[in-house]
Chains A and B, each alone.
Chain A
Amino acid sequence: MSKKSFRQAINEALRQEMRRDPTVILMGEDVAGGRGGSAGTADAWGGVLGVTKGLYEEFGETRVLDTPITEASYIGAAAGAAVTGLRPVAELMFVDFVGCCLDQIMNQAAKFRYMFGGKARTPLVIRAMYGAGFNAAAQHSQALYPLFTHIPGLKVVIPSSPYEAKGLLISAIRDDDPVIFLENKVMYDVEEEVPDEPYAIPFGEANLTREGDDVTIVAFGRMVGMANEAADRLAKKGIGCTVIDPRTTSPLDGETILECVADTGRLVIVDESSPRCNMATDIAALVAEEAFDTLRAPIRRVVPPHTPVPFATVLETLYMPSVEKIEAAVTATMNHRVTEKV
């Protein structure tokens, strides 16, 4: 056990799985970097933010493949390699680039197993960065996990910490279905204790990061840390919050959410994706349908406005959910008074 960053935890998961299984390969734009450059180097970048640094050195060009900047061909190639015996981990860099290759994910990889009558295995992982907070503006800041969650046949993972990232990525690589693995780009330098040995965190099993009696908060990815901080502040005011990190949006651990809502009677959902048809609306529908009688207050959603992600810091800060916004939502749900119907 030692302190590792989110970046190091992901790198370690990749390295350990590549050592364990020779069919695991990496591909993507500049996952090594430097090929064909005048300096004559390889592994110049190790990924645009250095997440795959050093893997080229250990595994060489047959396992760590730089690609041209052509997402459709190499994401499709990863899908084709996955159904023919390899276990590719393809890096899409920014999840926003899915616009260039959605067909290969949505119509090809996601469909093979079902459409071919259960006879195809597609052990494919697509890693991509998501999220605002980097002043990266509208084309490099989206949190598109609802888009993937909407597509049957895909599994969708959003790790909330370095420990979670390592265990969930190992599960993703070992999974026989296509997995979209989304890394919040603001979190790469976040550190915590992470075991040195490989371990797998199962999909579809939510993690409770705080427990309290008054309000259930469901949060995803980077929002889990904000929800924890809000819960700690609220605890000092005598308000107890349970914080649920679902870890995966598909499969989604609906049972745990329903159980916690039954205990607390109040629900706040924190989701940094665009507010229409996102995870917050999805979970609100689930709870409204399955647990209506346990609710003591309306469900509240802490979500961005329905706008593209803005560039200027002042606007981006306004756009994002925050600890303060979560506190305000929890306080509002606590203050709700049920009026008896006559």
Chain B
Amino acid sequence: MQIARETLLRSYRAMRTIRMFEERLHVEFATGEIPGFVHLYCGEEASAVGVCANLTDNDTIASTHRGHGHCIAKGVEVAGMMAEIYGRSTGVCRGKGGSMHIADLACGMLGANGIVGGGPPLICGAALSHKTLRDGGVAVAFYGDGASNEGTTLESLNLASVWQLPAVFVVEDNGYGEATGASFACAGTQKARAAGFGMPYIECDGSDYFAVHEAAGEAIAHARAGKGPVMLHVHLQRWYGHFEGDAMTYRAPNEVAEARRDHDCLRLFRERVTQAGLFEDSVLDEVDAAVTDEIEAAVLQAKDDPLPQSADLLADVYVRY
């Protein structure tokens, strides 16, 4: 399938934004200025972007604790995300959610989620809304190989098939649930699980934007056409630890280095589009420069933005007692 030039450029920019956002957080987190937990998406950019390039604001996604990439890919403002991670009142959730709970319902982002397996049931509901309201939308659950074993996920695969929902279940399989390998924790195969619930299964290489875009396009078109849910299995590499501060003692010394060398989705994308004559290197260099400036500005702004006020503690919840 031919992908429009604007889509390619937008996708490259989104992947570069995720990469720089996460690498900057890696540095900033080490200074101790960022409160709470941070889980980085570096190495997995092509999955979020390749899937979301097939979606519009009318479609819905649910994410995971490793959610920054999905947020950026779905169109959440980078400055608002950075301010949220710094716990500022200008954050997308006014400083009440933090890294693990960034949500922007206006662009169909139902939230990162601090609970492993929290998203798939919600996506059944969002898909039910799309189906009932007949708005043509599709709902996409991103979840990891770890969450693929949660009862909520397996129940959701069943419910989505029973109700024939316009839903896509994207298993982002980076081989690790926290510090435990998928080869230990996942019995059977994702493919057999999809078959067990009577839904089509597609798998792809998550470091290849074009492969993800094509596979996701097929899955989303199937769901959008009212033919029921699909499982999309994306094979990935995680470049950082489960959370920031994780020394990754459970991984072989060369594993991450090899992933960075052989499975860098940004390098692979650039090679492919320049070799095909679609873009000059200089065009992509300009994107890189613009993103560098955007991230720098977002961090400076976030550090300078106001903290929440004491009145915010009691706002937006029913506290009368």
Residues on A facing B (Cβ under 8 Å) = 23, 25, 62, 65, 67-68, 70, 72-86, 88, 103-104, 107-108, 111-120, 152-153, 155, 177, 204, 250-252, 254, 286
Instruction: Report the separation of the CA atoms of residues A241 and B318 in the bound assembly, to the nearest whole angstrom.
Output: 31
> What are the residues of chain A within 8 A of B230 when measuring CB–CB?
none
Which residue of the partner chain B has the closest CB to A124? Answer: B125
Summarize B's interface: helix, strand, loop or mixed: mixed
Shortest CB-to-CB span from B130 to chain A, Å, is 8
Residues on B facing A (Cβ under 8 Å) = 60, 62, 91-97, 101, 103-106, 110-111, 113-115, 118, 120-126, 128-130, 132-133, 139, 151-152, 155-156, 158-159, 162-163, 315-321
> What are the residues of chain B within 8 A of A116 when measuring CB–CB?
93, 96-97, 101, 103, 105, 111
Contact A79 B316 (CB under 8 A): no
Q: With contacts A108-B115, A115-B93 known, is A84 near B125, CB below 8 A?
A: yes
Summarize A's interface: helix, strand, loop or mixed: mixed
Shortest CB-to-CB span from B82 to chain A, Å, is 15
Q: With contacts A70-B155, A83-B105, A117-B94 known, is A76 near B122, CB below 8 A?
A: yes
Shortest CB-to-CB span from A227 to chain B, Å, is 22
Contact A115 B121 (CB under 8 A): no
Q: With contacts A65-B163, A117-B93, A152-B319 known, is A76 near B129, CB below 8 A?
A: no
Instruction: Report the separation of the CA atoms of residues A324 and B321 in the bound assembly, to the nearest whole angstrom.
Output: 31
Contact B159 A68 (CB under 8 A): yes
In the complex, which of the residues A62, A65, A155 contacts B318, with contact meaning CB atoms closer than 8 Å? Answer: A155
Q: With contacts A68-B159, A113-B317, A152-B317 known, is A118 near B125, CB below 8 A?
A: no
Q: With contacts A65-B163, A77-B122, A107-B118 known, is A115 near B96, CB below 8 A?
A: yes
Instruction: Report the separation of the CA atoms of residues A67 and B128 in the bound assembly, to the nearest whole angstrom.
Output: 13
A-B pairs, top 8 by smallest CB distance, nearest first, are A76-B121, A80-B125, A80-B122, A117-B94, A118-B316, A73-B155, A81-B125, A77-B125
Shortest CB-to-CB span from A122 to chain B, Å, is 10
Contact B317 A83 (CB under 8 A): no
Contact B129 A84 (CB under 8 A): yes
> What are the residues of chain A within 8 A of B139 when measuring CB–CB?
80, 84
Contact B124 A77 (CB under 8 A): yes
